[in-house]
């Protein structure tokens, strides 16, 4: 590193011995090197001429250098000459020619060419930051260094400066032959997708979690194509690797989709049960993500893509998949990351693969904070920190607007008090729509490690017979029932983690009777259903000394009751005004919405569902209206008995 130069001496910092040394140069030229060696462009040099050198002397020096190099068997290439701000030329040559170049007349010094970088944060990294006041600086809460990521993708160019020493290439390789007989298998082509994705996860400048280690497992060929059997073999390989050398916590990033595969979904589910977190791309087919694998597997965190304006990604005839199988959205348009064209090249790519890589990076940051979080708890944390209602629903397909979660991921706010596994966090899980006939059913389920704390239903025309809670194979199911003349109904389960409670769904002993919680239990939600197929209107829950879900005549009620000394719950209600067809009520910041009901004042209630921490009730309109009733719960701030 050059510190200072004079006519007869050059002062240089000796990096190895950590001291300044003086070199006599006697007006000879010298070569400038940098400590940022990963930014250097090997074999490309800027030759700078002394002040007063004429243009013809620059050209003469370049010709002389070419002749001297040729005599020694070296070929050089003059890329450009400079005669404005300074005099000199840019040359591509071997470092072995440097000693000849520095001795040429009129040469003052030679500088190795290097990369320069814009110092504003790329839009996607700026988008996931919540401490927006620190413009121009990407500063996540941590770098994810405790987390290992397995990337199932194409091969990766591990020598790229963005990911050098951060990616380990495993010995696994299960890919089909490329289509066609004239496929060129250049490294730049075969490494393109994997290199870019690895850069988004942990790249030095483009990465989300810059300390996370990435293990490359090749399941896609040079055309980005693989097989279900190859992906299954990759998962088998990872499972075996984790058993022999445990990496915890661990994330599996699956930036690919195929047609629906029961086997691939089951294998992904097994990996989650073994303790891994799986993050998958939703797919780029402008379609329902539930039609594809592994995106359709409920235990996998499935990611859709948005652009700079928080609109669902759309590129020509294709665009991000959406629907109830998508868990969250992330930046996926014009994402800057490592290019496999050279070790210092960058490029932009778009798609749900890039979006999934952002979520994998944020997941690494969250797991670095709470290493023991399960996949379900991690998803709840992701949703808690996400930006809510960021997407204009009009940009989503009409039939997917309600079931698609309107959330764009973000890193934790530095002021967040979320601690991880001990927090009561809930999300809504939608079913597919039932058949359009009376008493047809639709079913929504929580993840295995989540607890269902309430069940509600929604119908576009209001023809619904309510909802009920059933248990199958030890897991609760929210079952919505379509009413007579219905157009189909959705079931909406409220799924929660961090409650640390013993919960049960209790059914009223007979139609028209209350479903009542036992003493010392908290009521977290109410449901009701009608066996006749007629509309099932709710009654206001009881939340005093007696906690119960009342029912009208010929209606069965269901109460979700949880027993724990640390939980407290209360009701919050809001009436509609005027001709509004929608009424909302939200829980305060320190409370979590566990149950959502609509109470009719005469209007037809089309359904109720939780949207973030807000209870939303749709009605048929008119001037009669309805009320939205939210059940809000939290861990008790003190263990004193509650009056609620």
CATH number for position 85: 3.30.70.80
Tokens standing for residue 149: 């990521």
SS3 148: strand
Instruction: Find the CATH number of the domain harbouring 145.
Output: 3.40.50.200
* Of 443, 500, 439, the residue nearest 471 (C-alpha): 443
In a domain, 23, yes or no: no
Residue 419 lies in a domain: no
pLDDT confidence of residue 31: 63
Residue 182: what pLDDT?
Answer: 55
642 in a structural domain: no
Is residue 456 included in any domain, yes or no?
yes
Tell me whether strands 167-173 and 464-472 are parallel, antiparallel or unpaired.
unpaired
| 356 and 476 within one domain | no
What is the pLDDT, as a whole number, of residue 119? 60
Is residue 302 in a domain?
yes
User: Quick one: 482 and 397 in the same domain?
Assistant: no
Same structural domain, 398 and 475 = no
Q: Tell me which residue of 34, 1, 4 sits closest to 18, measured CA to CA.
A: 1
pLDDT at res. 1: 39
- Looking at the fold, whether 282 and 369 belong to one and the same domain comes out as yes
Looking at the structure, tell me whether residues 372 and 465 fall in a common domain: no
**Structure token digits, residue 338:** 């490592």
Same structural domain, 110 and 162: no
Last residue of a domain, one of 354, 373, 408: 408
Quick check: is 576 in a domain? yes
**pLDDT (tens digit, 9 = 90+) per residue, 199-239?**
999 999 999 999 999 999 999 999 999 999 999 999 999 99
| pLDDT value of position 20 | 46
- What is the Cα–Cα distance from 539 to 552, expressed in whole angstroms? 7
| 108 and 167 fall within a common domain | no
Q: What residues are labeled active site? A: 153, 193, 353
372: left (phi over 0), alpha (psi -120 to 50) or beta: alpha
Per-residue confidence (pLDDT) for residue 601, from 0 to 100: 81
How far apart are alpha carbons 13 and 30 in whole angstroms?
Answer: 14
Which secondary-structure segment (H or E) carries 60?
A: helix 55-71
Asked if residue 416 is part of any domain, the answer here is no
Q: Are 364 and 251 in contact (CB under 8 A)?
A: yes
User: So what's the pLDDT on residue 151?
Assistant: 98
Q: What is the pLDDT of residue 564?
A: 78
The answer to whether residues 361 and 485 belong to one domain is: no
Same domain? For 396 and 439 the reply is no
95 φ, ψ (degrees, to nearest 5): -65, -20
As a whole number of angstroms, the distance between CA 371 and CA 515 comes to 40
Structural domain span for residue 450: 425-635
Per-residue DSSP letter, 544? S
DSSP-derived secondary structure for 443-460: EEE--TTSEEEEEEEE-T
For residues 338 and 131, the answer to whether their CB atoms sit within 8 Å is no
Q: Are residues 151 and 254 in the same domain?
A: yes
Whole-prediction pTM: 0.83
- Please state the length of the chain: 644
Q: Kindly state whether residues 51 and 199 are assigned to the same domain.
A: no
Number of domains into which the chain is organized: 3
CATH code where residue 574 lies: 2.60.120.690
**Averaged pLDDT in 10-residue chunks for the chain of 644 residues:** 39 45 49 59 90 91 94 93 90 91 91 74 90 72 96 95 94 88 64 96 96 96 94 96 86 97 96 96 96 97 97 90 98 95 91 98 96 95 95 91 95 78 89 92 94 94 89 91 89 90 89 92 93 74 91 91 88 82 92 93 87 91 80 76 43
pLDDT at 3 (0 to 100):
38
Per the listing, tokens 């300074």 go with 86
* 443 located within any domain: yes
pLDDT of residue 33: 55
Let me know whether 81 and 194 are in one domain: no
**In sequence order, which residues have a C-beta less than 8 Å from that of residue 271 and are 6 or more positions away?**
235, 238, 239, 252, 278
């Amino acid at each position: 590193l050059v510190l200072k130069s004079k006519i007869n001496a050059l002062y240089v910092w000796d990096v190895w011995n950590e001291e300044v040394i003086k070199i006599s140069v006697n007006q000879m030229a010298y070569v400038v090197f940098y400590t940022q060696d990963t930014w250097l462009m090997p074999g490309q040099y800027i030759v700078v001429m002394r002040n007063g050198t004429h243009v013809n002397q620059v050209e003469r020096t370049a010709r002389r250098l070419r002749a001297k190099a040729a005599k020694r068997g070296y070929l050089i290439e003059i890329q450009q000459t400079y005669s404005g701000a300074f005099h000199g030329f840019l040359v591509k040559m071997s470092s072995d020619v440097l000693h000849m170049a520095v001795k040429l007349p009129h040469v003052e010094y030679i500088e190795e060419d290097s990369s320069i970088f814009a110092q504003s944060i790329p839009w996607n990294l700026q988008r996931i930051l919540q401490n927006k006041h620190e413009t121009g600086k990407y500063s996540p809460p941590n770098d994810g260094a405790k987390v290992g990521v397995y990337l199932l993708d194409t091969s990766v160019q591990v020598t790229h400066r963005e990911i050098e020493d951060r990616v380990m290439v495993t010995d696994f390789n299960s890919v089909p032959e490329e289509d066609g007989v004239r496929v060129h298998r250049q490294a730049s082509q075969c490494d393109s997708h994997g290199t870019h994705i690895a850069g988004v996860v942990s790249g030095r400048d483009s990465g989300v979690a810059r300390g996370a280690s990435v293990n490359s497992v090749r399941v896609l060929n040079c055309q980005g194509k693989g097989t279900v059997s190859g992906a299954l073999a990759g998962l088998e390989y990872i499972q075996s690797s984790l058993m022999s050398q445990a990496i915890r916590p661990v994330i599996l990033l699956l930036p690919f989709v195929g047609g629906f595969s029961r086997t691939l979904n089951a294998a992904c589910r097994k990996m989650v049960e073994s303790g891994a977190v799986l993050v998958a791309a939703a797919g780029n087919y402008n379609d329902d993500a539930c039609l594809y694998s592994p995106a359709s597997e409920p235990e996998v965190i499935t990611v859709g893509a948005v652009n700079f304006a928080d609109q669902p990604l759309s590129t020509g005839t294709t665009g991000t998949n959406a629907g109830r199988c998508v868990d969250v959205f992330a930046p996926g348009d014009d994402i800057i990351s490592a290019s496999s064209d050279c070790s210092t090249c960058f490029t932009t790519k778009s798609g749900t693969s890039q979006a999934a890589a952002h979520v994998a990076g944020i997941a690494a940051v969250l797991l670095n904070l709470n290493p023991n979080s399960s996949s379900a708890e991690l998803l709840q944390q992701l949703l808690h920190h996400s930006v809510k209602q960021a997407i204009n629903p009009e940009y989503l397909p009409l039939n997917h607007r309600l079931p698609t979660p309107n959330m764009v991921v973000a890193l934790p706010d530095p002021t967040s008090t979320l601690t991880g596994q001990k927090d009561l966090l809930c999300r809504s899980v939608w079913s597919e729509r039932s058949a359009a006939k009376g008493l047809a059913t639709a079913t929504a389920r929580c993840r295995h490690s989540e607890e269902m704390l309430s069940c509600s239903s929604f119908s576009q025309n209001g023809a619904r017979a309510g909802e009920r809670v059933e248990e199958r194979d030890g897991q609760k199911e929210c079952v919505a029932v379509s009413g007579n003349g219905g157009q189909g109904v959705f079931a909406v389960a409220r799924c929660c983690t961090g409650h640390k409670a013993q919960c049960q769904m209790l059914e009223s002993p007979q139609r028209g009777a209350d479903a009542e919680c036992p003493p010392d239990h908290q009521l977290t939600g109410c449901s009701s259903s009608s066996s006749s197929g007629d509309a099932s209107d709710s009654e206001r829950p009881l939340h005093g000394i007696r906690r119960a879900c009342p029912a009208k005549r010929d209606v069965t009620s269901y109460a979700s009751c949880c027993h724990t000394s640390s939980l407290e719950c209360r009701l919050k209600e809001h009436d509609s005004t005027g001709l509004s067809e929608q009424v909302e009520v939200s829980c305060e910041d320190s409370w979590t919405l566990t149950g959502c009901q609509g109470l009719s004042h005469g209007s037809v209630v089309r359904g109720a569902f939780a949207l973030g921490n807000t209870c939303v009730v749709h009605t048929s309109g008119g001037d009669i209206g309805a009320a939205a009733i939210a059940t809000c719960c939290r861990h008790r701030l003190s263990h004193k008995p509650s009056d609620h």
